[in-house]
């Protein structure tokens, strides 16, 4: 059964954050809170962990639409081609926040994603999440945890998440109740914002 750690968004305990980071560095899978729904993530540099997430989601890793969770925009140039001023201003204005931006990927993408031309970037407005990424030193590759229930598409109660996912992941963070509305996805690959999915973030920005 996965380890269950309680963390508070206002002031996450550094010792507990370090526990999560050690788990990620060891190839562990972690379920953690964001500013929208709970996410399932692993260290971007660990291929074995990436394969495990793809297997859980039932997708081929090379084709998987996983997001990269970054602590801020400083990670951007590591994985994204140079972007124009208008695009950067939009990112700066809306992040951290409940948005996933699809951007053109560069040659530094991890080997398993080399064939991909685009990458989804997230900077959640959640201190637990960004503290983990900051301490880890590189992004987390992330995907949403879905519920089979047709009415409640996303599980919001951490204890129920543990019950359902505890045998498939290594650590579950209780960061309080999650949202059941996912992030708004905006495609910026053409230089003009295109709405892919309307979620928690307002679409007035585009």
Q: Give CA–CA dist 130/120, Å, rounded.
A: 16
79, 68 contact by CB (below 8 A):
yes
Q: What is the pLDDT of residue 30?
A: 98
Q: What is the pLDDT of residue 149?
A: 55
- Mean local confidence (pLDDT), 54-71: 90
> Does 202 or 187 have the greater pLDDT score?
187
Assess whether pLDDT exceeds 80 at residue 90: yes
Q: What is the pLDDT of residue 112?
A: 85
154, 146 contact by CB (below 8 A):
yes
Assess whether pLDDT exceeds 80 at residue 137: yes
- Mean local confidence (pLDDT), 108-127: 90
pLDDT cut 70: percent of the chain above it: 95
Q: What is the pLDDT of residue 75?
A: 76
- Angle subtended at Cα 156 by Cα 102 and Cα 67, rounded to the nearest 5 degrees: 15
Q: What is the pLDDT of residue 203?
A: 80
Assess whether pLDDT exceeds 80 at residue 150: no
Q: Which of 14-18, 64-68, 132-136, 146-150 has the lowest mean pLDDT?
A: 146-150
Domain over 3-205 is classified CATH 3.30.1280.10: no
């Amino acid at each position: 059964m996965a380890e269950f750690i309680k963390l508070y968004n206002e002031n996450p305990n550094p010792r507990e954050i370090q526990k999560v980071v050690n788990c990620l560095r060891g190839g562990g899978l972690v379920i953690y809170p964001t500013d929208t729904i709970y996410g399932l993530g692993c260290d971007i540099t660990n291929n074995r962990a990436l394969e495990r997430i793809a297997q859980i989601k039932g997708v081929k890793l090379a084709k998987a639409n996983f997001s990269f969770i970054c602590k801020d925009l400083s990670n951007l140039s590591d994985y994204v081609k140079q972007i124009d001023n208008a695009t950067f201003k939009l990112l700066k204005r809306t992040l951290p926040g409940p948005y996933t931006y699809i951007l053109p990927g560069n040659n530094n993408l991890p080997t398993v994603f080399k064939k991909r031309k685009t990458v989804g970037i997230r900077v959640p407005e959640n201190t637990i999440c960004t503290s983990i990424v900051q301490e880890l030193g590189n992004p987390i590759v992330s995907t949403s945890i879905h519920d089979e229930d047709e009415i409640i598409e996303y599980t919001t109660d951490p204890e129920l998440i543990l019950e359902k996912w505890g045998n498939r992941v290594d650590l579950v963070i209780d960061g309080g109740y999650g949202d059941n509305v996912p992030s708004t996805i905006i495609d910026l690959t053409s230089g003009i914002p295109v709405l892919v999915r309307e979620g928690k973030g307002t679409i007035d920005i585009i």
